[in-house]
Each structure stands twice: as structure tokens, then as C-alpha cells.
Amino acid sequence: MKKFLIVAMVCSLALVSISCKDIEREIQDSQDALPVIEPGNNALPKDVLIPEESVYTQEELAALNTTQIKWGPGSETNEAGCPQACVSLQQQYEKYAALFLGPDREKVYLTFDEGYENGYTASILDTLSEKQVRAVFFVTMDYVKREPELVQRMIEEGHTVGNHTTHHPNMTTLSLEEAREEVQELHEYVKEQFGYEMSLFRAPEGAISEQSMALLSTMGYHNVLWSFAYADWDPKKQMNPSEALQRVCDRAHPGAIYLLHAVSQTNAEILGQMIDTVRSQGFEFGSLEEELP
């Protein structure tokens, strides 16, 4: 009888131990799976100032609309020459740390998307250095791994490297955890390899939803969209340089955020003239990262 009681007690203790370990594992798994930073948690990058109202809890994120927002700068402008759509979008979505226009309306801002290298980024960097202009380069994981020297040069020359996701998906089609991983994996890789912490994000294809933007702002990122873009992304269908230059310069406006693709030979050719012409119109080129509140 005593032997039976001892065996029973040992089994009970073992079950309690296993149960406690299982509970601890479940708690740890749930913590690891959280795709957000809770308000008041100082886990945001120390140099990134995201307004408290742009940081959301898991429950708040889950309740937000996941429908992709159909948007574009359009052709209608206000009295200052800014795309009216971007003015309205800025007012509507600034609660998600979104930027459709730059923070200083007396300046314009250059941003380049870097999905892959086509041989022109070095030339673009040369021109920016010559003209003393800083830009944002939004990179993917593939680009960073294939072109570490160019990424290092961007950083050393004072440009901003922005997060364009790991695999370039439509972020509105992903779960919160999947979307978080797309951003976090690249963020951590760049931090480890270059000692650089990114704080600006551009959604692939410009595909955004309220939930996706809120997730990024909660992770410590500003969502950078644009107020000017043109069909420059296909190397086989490049616009005539003179025509492209006129289009880019004619659309200069207060706070303009230019989206340009670095795979474009035309962009590389006209960049210097474009900077000079836009400056002659009374604008200066700003640095988004430095001028954000």
C-alpha cells in the first residue's frame, strides 16, 4: 500500500511539472507571436518618435479594416499645386504615421525604390553627392544581400535606408504575424549587418490598409507613400529623357515626395538636371528622416 502511495505521489508531481512547463511554453509562444509593441513599452527604436496615438494594442489592430485602400496622387491640385488627393489622404491617415506629403512644405523629397540592381544606383549616388542632396532608398532583403557595398555607401554618404519588406508582398493580403515578419526580418538583418536601424517603410506596390499602416506605426515605422510617380519601373519601357525631365519638374510642389525607381536609366540620366531645375523653382531638397517630429 505504501509503495502504491509513493508511486502515485511521484506521478502526480511529474504531471504537475509537465503541466507547468506546458503553460510556461504556451505563455512564451504567445508572447513571441505578438506582432505589436504595447503602448508605454520603450521597445521602439530610441531615435524614432512615433506619436503615442499611432501605437496600437493587439486587440485594436485586429479590429482595424484590412481592405486595401485604393489611392493615387491624381491630377487635381490645390492652390499651392499639391495633389488634392494627397492632401486629403494625409489628413485622413496621419494617425497611422503615414506620409503622402513631406513634413516641410518648402521642401521636396527624393525617394528611390530598390527591388533589384540594374547598374544605375552608383551613378545616382554620385549625382546626389555632387548636388549635396540626401535621399531615401527603400530596399528589399534580396537587394541588401546582393548589393551590400551599395547599401553601405548609402549609409556612409548620409542617405536613409528604408524598409521595403523581405519578399515584396502585398501587405494587405497577409495576417498580422506574416506582415510583422516581412518587416522584422529585414529590419534585424540590416541592423546586424550594417549597425543601422531603419525607421521608414514603404509598402510594396503602395498597397496599404488601415490595419497594415497601424501595424507599421506600432512597430516604430513611418509609412512613406508618395505624391509623385511615373512609369519608370520597366527598364524596357523607358520614357524619353527630355520628356521625363519635363514631367518630373512640372509636377514639383510643396512637400513633394518623389517616388523614383533606381532601375531606370532615364532617372539616372536626368537626376542632376532635375535637381537643378526644381531648385530654380524655389524648392530645396529635404531629408525625410531628419525632419520628422
Residues noted as catalytic: 113, 261
* C-alpha to C-alpha distance for 2 and 103, rounded to whole angstroms: 79
Closest alpha carbon to 144 in 133, 155, 158: 155
Is there a contact between 104 and 255 (Cβ–Cβ < 8 Å)?
yes
Alpha-carbon torsion angle 245, 246, 248, 252, nearest 10: 130
Q: Helix, strand, coil proportions of the chain in percent (round to 5)?
A: 50, 10, 40
In whole angstroms, how far apart are CA 202 and each of 74, 199, 207, 247, 259?
19, 10, 9, 23, 10
* C-alpha to C-alpha distance for 191 and 99, rounded to whole angstroms: 24
* C-alpha to C-alpha distance for 266 and 268, rounded to whole angstroms: 5
Bridge partners (DSSP) listed for residue 163: 139, 201
Burial 29-57 (b: 16+ CB within 10 A, else e): eeeeeebbbeeeeeebeeebebeeebbbe
* C-alpha to C-alpha distance for 60 and 96, rounded to whole angstroms: 13
